Structure 1
Amino acid sequence: MPDTSQLLLFIAAGWLLNLTPGPDVLCIVSHSLRNGARAGVVAGLGVTAGCFVHIFAAALGVGALIAASATAFTVLKWVGAAYLFYVGAKLLLSRGGGSPLGAAVATGAVPQAPADLWRVFRDGFFTNALNPKVALFFLAFVPQFIAPGTTHTTWVFLALGVLFNVNAIPVNVGWALVAAWTARRATAVQRSLAVLDRVAGALFIAFGLKLALSSRP
């Protein structure tokens, strides 16, 4: 496992990255705006469940790749770095108008009758589980916190992935609560999201550069 300082950096980076607007956040916020905070929280739990699919798949895959092929690791490294650069550049160049809260409000999402919570959970699950970019993200992000020479790489990757996902739960709950409370204050929240986009974009690019310059663990 990483040392204490690296583990704290991993947790902090995970929280900031989970605050970044994306399809999962849009799902949580939309349900929260339509049907209240409870529906948003359930959607967030669905997202968390869907994310475990990618964590287990990526843990098994990345362990095998690192153990068997330096070439495969190099290819994966450059694909992952390119993806992180792409996401970072997209966030830095965004104008903030495409934030999930703004998008949900623009669709006319307003509190209505209580939702079918099982359907809401399924929406969150499939929003994440069917997004191949989530798997690519884990393959690009988590290995940077696995020290060179680590034994049992697959188990360390799995532990870090689970930690990342569990740490995302309070963030997802926070999105749901904030969206429900600020349904009529979307303009002010959207300005804050524009700043967050820039910070997260710079962080994505920094991690992409770190990945591109890294050597095989």
Structure 2
Amino acid sequence: MDRREIAALLAYIGRLDPRLIRTDDGEVREQLDQWHELLEDVPIATPYGWDARVTAKKHIRVSPYPILPADIGRPWEGYRRDRLARHSDPTPSIDPDDQSAWTAELIGTRHAVAVGTAQPAQARAITSGRDEIDPKLEARLKQVGSPIPPAARAALAPYRPARAAREEAIAQGQADALGVRCDWCQAQQGEPCRRRRISPTGAVRGTTLRTEPHPCRLELATAQQAQQTERLQQPAMA
């Protein structure tokens, strides 16, 4: 609040509680200076739920003691903490390689939430729709072509052999074996196949991931791909 807003707040409080009214010019200036010094970073009101006049009115209604600047500043700090606690940092729209701009946008968003000029961003549920994607992020994704840059994908390939083999097969036009469930090892769709380790007694001691899918899974994926291709070609033939 600036000095003009502080003066308006003191006039409002004085109307509700005459004990705060000062008639001497020196006392008025001293009171104005004191309140401005302590509440300079507190806004008079925000678009989302904060109003210093409402806070002062609540204090005067329930407390027998004259209001102090701390009775305005303390609720304001609680208001800030509550908003930041409910805020989940949204992904900045800036290029993440520009670290200074990325950090500046993140800090700016937090500050806007804390001072009440923006609503807290809630943690969003994972959805399959694309209508909720930030337009700036979507444009950036189209420009890059993939969430993982090609250089990073190549560097990760030795640590993700199953995924690398799947991506290479799809790039060559082959069937996506991980797109179907494996009838042999019961691996679910999207999961790599597993190799069972059998003990001498015949019991399963454990499983390890396979780089290549089981042949039956690949055959099933190939059959489904052929069926899809046939269905797509039927309207054109008709």
* TM-score normalized with structure 1 length: 0.25
Q: Would you tell me which structure has more helix in proportion to its own residues?
A: 1
Give the number of the structure with larger relative contact order, counting CA–CA contacts within 8 Å between residues 6 or more apart. Answer: 1
* TM-score normalized with structure 2 length: 0.24
